[in-house]
Amino acid sequence: MVRGHFTSTGAAKAIYLPFTPDYIELENQTASAAFTDQRVLSATWDAGMGQNYALVTVKDTTMKTSAVTSGGFSTFSAGLSLQYGPSQQVVSTTLATSNFEVTGHGYQTGDVVVFQNLYQSATTGSPQIDGMPFVITRIDADNFTINWDMNQSNYTALAASPADASVKKVLYPFLYAPGVAFLSDISTSGVTTFTTTAPHNFVVGQEVAFRMPEEYDAIEFNSLPNSTTPGSPVYYYVKTVPTSTTFTLGQEISYTAFDTNQPVDLVSGLSFPQVVAVGDVNTGGVAYSGGNLYPSPVVNGVSTINGPAISGSFVNNTRQGFIIGAGASTVQAAAILVGASNDVIYWRAYLHDMNVT
């Protein structure tokens, strides 16, 4: 059993646990103290009820019991490989802003997506980015942008919903951390700054290596071959992490300009420019004095579910837990399971040892 509390934003809340619960309890401290109408005061859920359901106690002029039949409690468990949401049609793109029009996409800023078949015709379009993970910035219900320079001569805007041009959300994008990151830009002025298509999860002191296909130039960063010490890979250390998708190195070297303007006819068999964590502790050079094992690392602000990480391994960040939805009570539409913004919510989750029928 596990318990916790949080301050609600009014939106669905994911709770990460070391197990998938079969029973959940919730109490809204703020609503109970105020005791005003149209509030969910408490709720329970059992796995036998099915997903997105909840039994609730509601203040609606009087105390009433009710149900939430949509947007209630739901559980999740990421697999050992990437899982995706449904494919959605790409209607059009705007190259100047790297904008994608996808009707009613349902995505939020920070979601990670991948594209497929971004062809306008057999020889035009933007298939150069097919298969790479991108963190998005939501513009509105039908539009979002990515951090890739599409305003280049070898890219063609998509229009009129080209057949098979699609996008899908990566449901659990950070199953292992730091993982492998894809490069979208390398600055050419001042301090060399590397930009990745999705959060890289690196930390200051991280040891990294580069895989730079010759088509993208900047091959001077490649970990192999090492002209100074043949057979020994060239590694670098992360100096700063300005944002979740940028980092700088402790070493500055001369390099040919990074080039993402790849022709469409080279897409078949084209490899992507990558940066990957290496070294004794792939979770970064974080000082630790607590013994032989390292504590469970944090990925994107969330503690990983596994036990302490063994030195030299990537961190298993497979996610599981439950979601408190924003569904409404059947007797009072304003009574929302997750509560209103700034409500303090207490919860308890259980996984029982035995199921008796």
Question: For residue 98, what is the domain's CATH number?
Answer: 2.40.30
Residue 114 lies in a domain: yes
Q: Tell me the average pLDDT of the chain.
A: 89
Q: Which residue shows structure tokens 């097919």?
A: 130
Would 234 be classed as within a structural domain? yes
pLDDT along the chain (357 residues), means of 10: 94 88 97 93 96 95 94 87 91 98 93 97 97 96 97 98 97 80 92 95 85 95 79 87 94 94 94 85 44 57 60 65 94 93 97 88
Q: Which domain holds residue 111?
A: 88-169
Q: Is residue 149 part of a domain?
A: yes
Tens of pLDDT along 178-203? 778 999 999 987 899 999 999 998 88
Would you say residue 285 lies in a domain? no
What pLDDT was estimated at residue 307? Answer: 56
Shared-domain flag, residues 197 and 249: yes
- The answer as to whether 106 is a domain residue is yes
Residue 314 falls within a domain, yes or no?
no
Residues in the chain: 357
Domain membership flag for residue 151: yes
- Split into its structural domains, the chain has a count of 3
Supply the DSSP symbol for 14: E
In a domain, 293, yes or no: no
Residue among 356, 349, 357, 355 nearest 19 (CA): 349
- CATH number, domain with residue 250: 2.40.30.180
The model's pLDDT over 104-114, given as tens digits with 9 standing for 90+, comes to 999 988 899 99
Q: Clarify whether residues 209 and 157 are in a common domain.
A: no
Taken in order 299, 304, 310, 316, the sign of the CA dihedral is: negative
Task: Based on the fold, state whether residues 111 and 47 are members of the same structural domain.
Answer: no
How far from 212 is each of 80, 216, 224, 275, 298, CA to CA, in Å?
27, 7, 10, 8, 28
Residue after which a domain boundary falls, among 227, 246, 278? 278
